[in-house]
Amino acid sequence: MMKNIALYKYCFLTKKCTQLPLPENINNIDDLVISLSSGVYTTIRIYKQSKVLYFQAHLGRLKDSLALSGISIGYGLNDIRKPIRDIVTKFCEQDLRIRIHIPLEYPDVCYLIQEFLSPYPESIYATGVKVKTNQLSRENPKAKLTEFISASIKEKECMKRLGLEESLIIGPNQEILEGLTSNFFGIKGDDVYTAMEMVLDGITRSIVLRIIQESGFHTVLKPVNFNDINFLDECFITSTSRGVLPVIQIDDIHIGNGLPGKKTMQIRKEFLALINSELEFI
């Protein structure tokens, strides 16, 4: 049983939060999520032991995912801030990641999964990562549903065996849509490509799109075709835990000169600066 995660149940109606025992035979956080009722979720990262980035945006994504699933709620999602703050206070000396999981069958409650976070070492950003591709699909791409976690388990096991960081979803027209847990960006010259349709609107993705625009790059809201990977100068993935992470190889294809690109590193530098200026206390 994992000792680096904890499970809490919060009731929006009674405002009570209770820690629950972990189910048996839980080997990772995906196992825990699959053991719960199917629902919508978002993951927040706690920075500097007490701060979060764009908390309201995360709540907005939860509300949108519920609406896309045909669920309406009669309470304010912001009520969840206090139990999260209480959890963070208990572990104020450690970096955390907290997943907010609202079951579709019982939307008056939510699960809070607290996980101790080991930040990615700087060496990974300096060398870049390798990824693979897959043919999976999301039934409702704009909604962040736990059902997809179950569907992607085997692909994640394959990634782990191969020592890869991520697996990119290839669409029906050979377009690169997104990763299992990330958004994908490709760079050619001053053009930065990323899919607009059939992908999750990640919080980190929205920040990066803003940075790209303010930095003078040209945003192209359409996916990179898999057959055009050879022509990319650089590419990277984004997520709450990774931030902006350079990708140097997709399947057996090397990107650019096989090293993290200058534009990617510039975007990451500006992303880190923005985080420091816009963090808020949970």
Domain ranges of the chain: 5-116, 122-278
How many Å apart are CA 186 and CA 233, to the nearest integer? Answer: 8
Q: Give the chain's mean pLDDT.
A: 91
Give the pLDDT mean for 209-218.
93
Could you tell me what percent of the chain has a pLDDT over 70?
Answer: 98
pLDDT confidence tier of residue 1, bands split at 50, 70 and 90: very low
Q: Which fold has domain 122-278?
A: D-amino Acid Aminotransferase; Chain A, domain 2 (3.20.10)
pLDDT digits (tens, 9 = 90+) for 156-179: 999 999 999 999 999 999 999 999
Buried b (16+ CB within 10 A) or exposed e, 71-102: beeeeebeebeebbeebbeeeeeeebbbbbbb
At 93 the pLDDT is: 66
User: For domain 5-116, which CATH number applies: 3.30.70.1280, 3.30.470.10, 3.30.70.260, 3.40.1160.10?
Assistant: 3.30.470.10
Q: Which residues contact 115 (CB under 8 A, 6 or more apart)?
A: 4, 5, 29, 96, 97, 98, 99
pLDDT digits (tens, 9 = 90+) for 29-44: 888 988 899 999 999 9
Among the ranges given (19-33, 201-215, 231-245), the one the predictor scored with the smallest mean pLDDT: 19-33
Nearest Cα neighbor of 20 from 7, 4, 5 is: 7
